[in-house]
Chains A and B, each alone.
Chain A
Amino acid sequence: MKDAVRIQQEDFSQDEEILALKASSRRMGGIATFVGCARDFSEGRDVAEISFDAYGSMAVSEMKQLRSDAIAKFSLLDARIVHRICTVTAGDNIVFIAAGAEHRVAALEACRWMIDELKLRVPIWKKETTPQGETWVVAHP
Chain B
Amino acid sequence: MINVLFFGPVVERIGKNALEVGYRADMTLQELRDELALHYPQAFEIVCFFAVNGQHVRDLAMPLADNSEVTFMAKFSGG
Contacts and interface: CB of A to CB of B under 8 A. Distances in A.
A74 interface: no
A64 to B, nearest CB: 12
A95 B51 CA distance: 23
B8 to A, nearest CB: 3
A105 to B, nearest CB: 23
Interface residues of A, number: 29
A73 to B, nearest CB: 18
A53 B5 CA distance: 13
B7 interface: yes
A2 to B, nearest CB: 19
Nearest to B13: A136
A95 B71 CA distance: 24
A83 B12 CA distance: 23
Interface in A121-141: 121-127, 136-140
A52 B71 contact: no
Interface string A109-128: 00000010011111111110
Nearest to A128: B77
Nearest to A115: B79
28 contacts: A52-B78, A55-B54, A61-B54, A61-B55, A62-B56, A83-B79, A94-B79, A95-B78, A95-B79, A115-B79, A119-B76, A120-B76, A121-B56, A121-B76, A123-B51, A123-B71, A123-B73, A123-B76, A124-B76, A124-B77, A124-B78, A125-B76, A126-B78, A136-B8, A136-B74, A137-B77, A138-B75, A140-B77
